[in-house]
Amino acid sequence: MGYLLRRLFFTLALGAAVHAAAHPTDGDTAQYVTTRLAVTGTVEHALNLSVADLRQLPLVRQGGAKAGQLENLKGVRLRELLEQAVVVSRDHNDVKKMIVIATASDGYKVVFSWSELFNSPVGEGVLVYFEKDGQPLGDDEGRIAMVSSKDIRSGPRHVKWLQSIEVKKIAE
């Protein structure tokens, strides 16, 4: 069973990485701007949050790497949003079979395992952010974005125009 889960997770992650080329390159990013974030799936309380709603949660400031420079990002840890939504777990092993899919308005998707977010250093660095260098995000990232700053390469799991977070149980 462990092999099957690892294989499925790898396949989903590879699919997300291949989709990376789908970000628009024509410069017209205004059509992708998102102003709300939905948290859905295997949760007790679905969330539909604006930037103002996110500002009411415990905020985090962190630096994120971009072309060798550090940016000051302000937002909420993805872990905090999942705790607010309350991931449904009938027994303590259910969470080991769950993935979290972050989706952008242009269709770009990235995947995290529950264990990665709650049982590894990666979870400390997954930030849903709405402010960079003291300013709201521009159209090039949308009003809400996400980055996994503890990844060796943060680009593949940098989600511009973040519109949804979905929790899924992938095995019984």
**For position 29, what pLDDT does the model report?**
83
**For position 64, what pLDDT does the model report?**
52
User: Do strands 162-169 and 36-41 pair parallel, antiparallel, or not at all (unpaired)?
Assistant: parallel
**For position 32, what pLDDT does the model report?**
92
**For position 57, what pLDDT does the model report?**
95
**For position 83, what pLDDT does the model report?**
96
Beta carbons within 8 Å of 68's beta carbon, 6+ residues apart: none
**For position 153, what pLDDT does the model report?**
85
The domain 2-169 is classified under which CATH number: 3.90.420.10, 3.90.1150.10, 3.40.50.300, 3.40.470.10? 3.90.420.10
Domain assignments of the chain as residue spans, ordered by start: 2-169
**For position 14, what pLDDT does the model report?**
44
**For position 19, what pLDDT does the model report?**
43
**For position 79, what pLDDT does the model report?**
96
pLDDT below 50 — which residues of the chain? 1, 4-5, 7-22
